[in-house]
Amino acid sequence: MLRFRFVVVLLTAVAVASPASAQQADASATGGPTSLDAPWRLYFGDDPAFAQPGFDDADWMLHRIDKDWASEGRRGYAGYAWYRMRVVLPNASEPLALAIYPPASAVEVYIDGTLAGTIGRMHPQPAWQYLRTVYAVPVPAVLHGRSVEVALRVWGAWQQAQRLGAGAASQPALLGAARDVERIVTLEDENRWLTKIPDCTVDLTGLCIGLFSFGLFLLQRQAREYAYAAVYLCGSAALDLLIWILRQQGGGVPFWANVSNVSDSILLCFWLLFTWGFVGAKADRLLFFCLAAAWMNAIAGPSVELGIIPLAGFFWIVAPMYLFLSIAVFVRLYTLARRGNRDAQLFLIPFFFSLVVQSIVSVITALYSSGLVNFQGRMILYRGSHFDVSWEQLFTTLSYFAVGAVLVLRFARSARQEQRLRTEMEAARRVQGQLVPVELPQFQAFTCEAAYRAASEVGGDFYQVYPRSDGSALLLVGNVSGKGLRAAMLGTLIVGAAGALAQENLAPAEMLDRLNRHLCGRTDGGFATCLCAEIGAAGRLVLANAGHLAPYRNGEELPLDSELPLGIAASANYTESTLQLAPADALTFISDGVVEARNPSGELFGFDRAAAISNQSAEQIAHAAQQFGQEDDITVLTVTFAPAEVLHA
């Protein structure tokens, strides 16, 4: 019994006096890369002496490098830590290298006290940067075949400390031939491309639909929701591409995280705007509250960097924001979907669940950051050997397809509507031919000439010449308020009524009075100016004016009373003015489109210019006003009284 106790004591003493076997890895006899998966010695703190090969680390804890710091009771730890392991190197003739998987924000690799490589930025001040999965660190050739001390000086950013897996490498380091390690680094980079397949699919889908939406906006500039959708979809893809580029170049995480937070808020606002716009919802208080909530992301991110709130506070702000948005958007879409809104029906499910998943992920992250749960991360739908697919990616893609479907349906509706409008405009142009006839009646005592230039496809100006059996004529020149099809329809109503009344041989004042009473209550808020003139075969001219421009006689404006335009008041009274035309007298009737023509500098054509050219032909006057800068319909009607030799022939 005494001998047995002596043996136990001796073995215990040897075990205590000898270095722990888990602290050393023998890579001398392997033919390929060796995994340094034995526990490392770990110490939280910093001292340059920790890099030296003779430093005694026996009292340091043993820790697997692929385990997080929370497993050692250091949850939320930020700052420096050291890993040490003794490694027996192979006596190889070819170069050796270590494949280091960074366990923290920045890493310095020491081999026997000599700095062999730096991952990330450690000097002059440590910085949290985007890092690749694995880095190759060369091993000095003079150390081949020796037992060396590998020490890792790591630094963890405080922003990263609360995240899941803080302080854990994705896998243990590897030691092997430099060419094999470089091949591992290359394969890891290629695998990173594979892991990005779901995200790239989502971004590519959004980019294509966003470009399609932008194309529709270029065709319909008044439909701003197309522009909102294009900014959101293309902007989301561009932001992801920017972050990916920064990861390749090692950009600073805190700065670009704030850029990402602000960009997310801006893009979320555009998402809300195009959602409300697509479903035809009014810009109400609910939209205002949603837009205000969307900025919580941009406010919370910088607040963390400034130390105003902890990292957990950021997630506790973002989680309720997404929860509120999911409820608000669901309420708005569900209300409209029940009313038969097709776009709202397509948006309802994918939009709602996309926000709900983001809310759940944010809540889980907030709970983890607050130490209330021990898990964190995305809600995974599919786990594959090369990439995972999350529920968030699924519903985001479905929401993009919903937007694409709405765009296609809208495009189809727009095409049908455009075809219908083309048909209506063609009918309106035929109507226009009735308002502004190209062929005018011929008279023995005078000649008539007309010119017309519409400001749009159809206009509201009109002129008519009604011959009478005694050789005289009744002339109407007018301008309907507004432009386009609505003005043309009102003009048609006036011309139709005037054509019927012209058969009664009414005097100009009575003609205007009858037209006014016919139009009152039928113009839908519109009105029309109108000048009515009766020209006798002997040159007697009778004029009555309902708010139209006075005509010119031989280049001078005729003094003429002007009454209320047609269609405003049924009680309006119209008076007549009478004068005698002399042989070769020229009358010029114009619409306000002539005097209101405006050049690029803002100058009006004006009455003086109109009077100066009023002796020219109708075509010349209309052309001059149009070239000056047409803004409204231009109408010119000229009447030339026959010369004396014609009258006495």
Across the range 120-142, mean pLDDT stands at: 89
pLDDT in tens, 506-531: 999 999 999 999 888 888 778 999 99
Q: What is the mean pLDDT of residues 14-24?
A: 43
For 325-348, what is the HEC assignment?
Answer: HHHHHHHHHHHHHHCCCHHHHHHH
User: Quick one: 187 exposed, middle or buried, by C-beta within 10 A (0-12, 13-18, 19+)?
Assistant: exposed
Q: How confident is the model at residue 376 (pLDDT cuts 50, 70, 90)?
A: low
Instruction: Assign 7 a pLDDT band (cuts: 50, 70, 90).
Output: very low
Whole-number pLDDT of residue 23: 64
Contact (CB, 8 A) for 528 and 565: yes
Question: Cis (ω within 30 of 0) for the bond into 124?
Answer: yes
Average pLDDT over residues 22-46: 85
> What would the pLDDT profile of 286-300 be if each residue is shown by its tens digit?
999 999 999 998 898
Of 30-34, 142-146, 277-281, give the lowest mean pLDDT range.
Answer: 30-34
Average pLDDT, the chain: 86
pLDDT classification of 643: cutoffs 50, 70, 90: low
Counting Cβ atoms within 10 Å, is residue 481 exposed (0-12), middle (13-18) or buried (19+)?
Answer: middle
Instruction: Answer yes or no: is pLDDT of 437 > 80.
Output: yes
Amino acid occupying residue 534: E
pTM of the predicted protein model: 0.62
The pLDDT of residue 429 is 64
The closest of 155, 93, 142 to 116, measured between CA atoms, is: 142
pLDDT of the residue at 597? 93
Contacts for 100-103 with beta carbons within 8 Å, 24 or more apart?
Answer: 100/134, 100/135, 100/136, 100/137, 100/152, 100/173, 101/66, 101/133, 101/134, 101/169, 101/170, 101/171, 101/172, 101/173, 102/131, 102/135, 102/154, 102/169, 103/65, 103/152, 103/154, 103/167, 103/168, 103/169
Long-range contact set of residues 429-432: C-beta below 8 Å, sequence gap at least 24: 429/457, 429/458, 431/458, 431/488, 431/489, 431/492, 432/458, 432/459, 432/488
Distance from C-alpha of 504 to C-alpha of 534, rounded to nearest angstrom:
13
Q: Over 70: is that where the pLDDT of 21 sits?
A: no
Domains of the chain: residue spans and CATH: 20-192 (2.60.120.260), 196-414 (1.20.1070), 436-647 (3.60.40.10)
Mean pLDDT of 20-24: 53
